Structure 1
Amino acid sequence: MKSLLKIKTVAGFLVALSLMTFSLMGNAATAVKTGEFSGANDHITTGQVSLVQTPEGYAVVLGSDFSLDGAPDPKVGLGKNGQYDPKALLGKLISNNGQSAYLIPASVDVNNFNEVFIWCDQFSVSLGSAKIK
C-alpha cells in the first residue's frame, strides 16, 4: 500500500512539475487546438485534450476529465488521419485519470498532425484518439 502511495505521489509531482513549465511566465501558454478523446479497440478513453503553445514550444495537455480504463504500456503520441506515428511518441502516460502534460520535441512539426493518440506499444494498438482542431 505504501509503495502504491509513493508511485501516485511521484506521478502527481511529475504532472505538477510538467504543468508548472506552462505557467512560469504568467499566461504565456495558449491553447491552439483542442479535441475530445474517444476509445478504440474495446477501451474506454474520454476527456479533453489541448495542444498548447508556450514560449519554449508546444505541449499536449490532457484535461482534468481525462480517463482511460486501463491497458498495459499506454503512451501518448501524435498521428494524422487515423494513423499513429511512432516518430511522434511523446512519452509514457503518467496517469490513467486526470490532467497531465507532455512536451513535444522541437524536432516534431505539430503542423503535420491532427490527432493525439493514447497508444499501447505492447500490442501496437490505439487505446483512444482525439482529433484536434
Structure 2
Amino acid sequence: PWRLWTTTVAAEAAPGAVPAPAGATTAAEPAPAPAAPGSPSAAGPQVVAAGDLVSLAHETSGRVTLVALPDGGHAVRIEDLATSDGPDLRVWLSAKALADVEDAGEGRWLELGPLRGTRGALTYPVPAGTDVSQFASLVIWCKRFSVGFGAAPLTAA
C-alpha cells in the first residue's frame, strides 16, 4: 500500500530523437526544412494513432502516441504522465476499446514492459512484426491486482 505515495519521474527520449552531443553549439547554417508529415521523404517517426489517458482505478492523465519509425518498427510514447505507483504496473496494448478496458486482462493484449515511471515521459518499443492495427487502446495495468490504473484510446491519425 505504501507505493501509492511514491513517485518515480521519467524523462526518456522520444522515439527517433537523437540527443545533441555534450558541448554542442548552434550551427551557423540554417537546418533544412522538415518534410511534410506523412510524406515518403519524412525521415522521422510518423504518428499512427494517439489518445489521452483517462483514470480507471487510480487518477491517471497524460498523452499516448503510437508512432511508425523510419526502420519499419513502431514505438509507444507516453508524455505528461501522472499516475499512482503500484506493486506491479505494466504497459499494455489492448484490443479492447476504452469502454471495455477495465477487464483488459480477459481480452487480447500485448505487454510492452513494466511502467518505468509514474510521472514524465516514457518510450516503449513495440515488438517487431506486431500488427499495431489490432490494438484499440493502451492500458496501465496492475498485474498483481488485475486492475487498470488508466487507459487511452488509440485513435488513428
Give the unaligned 5+ runs of structure 2: 1-7, 19-33, 35-42
Q: What TM-score results when the alignment is normalised by the length of structure 1?
A: 0.77
Q: How does 1:1-133 map to 2 (within 5 A)?
A: 12=11, 15-16=12-13, 19=14, 21-24=15-18, 27-41=43-57, 43-56=58-71, 57-63=73-79, 65-79=80-94, 80-81=96-97, 82-83=100-101, 84=104, 87-133=109-155
Secondary structure of the residue aligned to 1:111 is helix
Structure 1 residue 87, shift from structure 2 partner:
4.6
How well do the aligned residues superpose, as a CA RMSD in angstroms? 2.2
CA distance in structure 2 between the partners assigned to 1:125 and 1:59 by the alignment:
24
Measure how far apart 1:73 and its partner are.
Answer: 1.1
* Structure (1/2) with the larger strand percentage: 1
Unaligned runs of 5+ in 1: 1-7
Q: Hey, which bits of structure 1, 4+ residues long, moved more than 6 A?
A: none
Query: Sequence identity, in percent?
Result: 32
Greater radius of gyration (CA): 2
The alignment's TM-score, normalised by the length of structure 2, stands at 0.66
In proportion to residue count, which structure has more helix?
A: 1
